[in-house]
Amino acid sequence: MNKDRRLPTASAPRRLPRRTVLKAGGLTALAVPAATAPAFASSLVSPRDEAPDTVYDVIVIGAGYAGVTAARELRAKGLRPLILEARDRIGGRTFTSTFLDQQIEVGAQWIGPTQPLINAELKRYGIGTLSGTPPTRLIMPSGGGFKEFPPDEVDARYGDLMNRLFEGAQDLFPRPTDPLYRKDLVAAADGLSLRDLLDRLRLSADDESWLSGTTAGYSGGSSATGAYTALAQWWSLAGYNVAGYEAVMSQRLSGGMTGLLQAMLNDAGATLRLNSPVVSVADDGGKVKVTVRSGQVYQARAVVVAVPVNVWKSISFRPGLPKVHQAATTQGVGVPYSGKLWMQVSGLSDRVAARGAEGSPFTTLLSQANVTDGQLMVGFNSLPVLDGADTGAVQDAVRKFLPDVRVLQVLAHDWGKDPYSQGGWALRRPGQLIAQLPAIQQPQGRVSFASGDIATGWVGFVEGAIESGLRAAQQVLKMTKGARSLTAS
């Protein structure tokens, strides 16, 4: 029996434990509202969702990690925050759910030891991490098709290719959390795409296919749209080596990504309004008015816009956005094509990790767990776009890697089509690092911006979202210092 379930709500990165090929493309971030969202998603809401107040000290737009971090920090300093969330759940581009009685992440999932902020949050709330089981079979591109390779060969060959791709990254980013420290060198490299680097390496067809699945997958479809500096900074943040790069996606959270976020939200003590998409933000210099789709108007001394950069263009700002912000939301920072498909399959007993080349139906395909009547797998798709509602098309795509496997059920989400993300995880395009930082991180009037898309360090990761939320909170504290509270009687 074939069944399809589409989640109009989330899709994020995922990866395999220890081996590089397992890396599932570093997808990190996103989630969307779900038409058929599992009960687990909507059961996690804010501790304060009571009624009608319309005046607050600060309004946070977006209940993802950036927004909730900012709200918690501001509450700790005595401000009264309101969080407006467009979806019927918290999480933004993170979304913990269930499929086949298994806990899954429809959005961002993996963290690593070189991400100090999220690890500090785990320690603060006493939340542990889990590691996956390594695959026993590795399938890689070969001769225009796909072939199984010994794990040791994959490790050595893929590792060598990655080292070649990122040769010189340490010169570009000697201080990877300060990406403009060597602005002279970065400026010369920032216009290069990942495709430019692949072409410069002059690899054999097979070797290029091993790398292009990574570069195209991270870029959300085409290696030509992802900036070399974006991936090189990730490589640098991870320690300039394959082992560190792999480790970035080596752990998942006990209780899921939504569980940690809920703990942070409980701490924030903020009022939360779900199903409240913001349509306009008007700053008159003394206060800010925020209007939601229903027509309800809220006001505060300051606002934190904590939605993805790609979504800024869907909100009317008065005065208008600064030029750097306008350019970013028009061009896009979240990758344009990022589908995540969870599948129940039969005919597979081994744990498999498969990687596609650029243009393959899956950039990564991973075994996740044994379930009744088969195995749970997850696949990541960019271009050509794979329709998760078409089980036959998914079946054909899987069989390019695993000819004997049958797809029984599919749960899919396409982040690019989600109105509240309008794209997947963030990966800067050529030229955007120099063009955007640090201006895109600066507030305009009484409006501050927070998103993992504009982080200084781990752009596109939950780590980056937390960093950005902390910075936005400090900006709001500065702009409201000494101002009279609008909520005072």
Q: Are strands 352-355 and 137-142 parallel, antiparallel or unpaired?
A: parallel
- Residue 205's pLDDT band (boundaries 50, 70, 90)? very high
pLDDT at 485: 65
Once rounded to an integer, what is the mean pLDDT over residues 12-34?
Answer: 32
Once rounded to an integer, what is the mean pLDDT over residues 182-189?
Answer: 98
H or E segment at 151? helix 151-165
Please measure the distance between the N-terminal and C-terminal CA atoms of the chain and give it in whole angstroms: 63
Does 20 have pLDDT greater than 50? no
Once rounded to an integer, what is the mean pLDDT over residues 379-394?
Answer: 91
Once rounded to an integer, what is the mean pLDDT over residues 250-266?
Answer: 96
Sign of the alpha-carbon dihedral angle for 469, 473, 474, 479: positive
pLDDT at 268: 96
Return the SS3 of 177. coil
Q: Could you give all domains of the chain from N- to C-terminal order, each with its CATH number?
A: 39-92+255-334+421-480 (3.50.50.60), 152-239 (3.90.660.10)
Does 51 have pLDDT greater than 50? no
Does 142 have pLDDT greater than 50? yes
Does 276 have pLDDT greater than 70? yes
pLDDT at 414: 84
How does pLDDT run across 117-136, given as a tens digit for each residue?
999 999 999 999 998 888 99
Whether cis (ω within 30° of 0) applies to the bond prior to 443 is: no
Indicate the residue type of 276.
Answer: S
Of 23-37, 85-99, 333-347, 422-436, where does mean pLDDT reach its minimum? 23-37
Does 199 have pLDDT greater than 90? yes
**Which are the contacts of 167, defined by CB distance < 8 A and separation ≥ 6?**
none
Distance CA(469)–CA(60), nearest Å, equals 10
298 CB-contact burial (10 Å; exposed 0-12 / middle 13-18 / buried 19+): buried
pLDDT at 382: 87
240-249, 317-326, 374-383: which is most confident: 317-326
pLDDT at 249: 86
Once rounded to an integer, what is the mean pLDDT over residues 413-423?
Answer: 91
Residue predicted with more confidence, 220 or 25: 220
Mean pLDDT (the chain, rounded): 89
HSE (side-chain half, CA atoms, 13 Å) at 464: 28
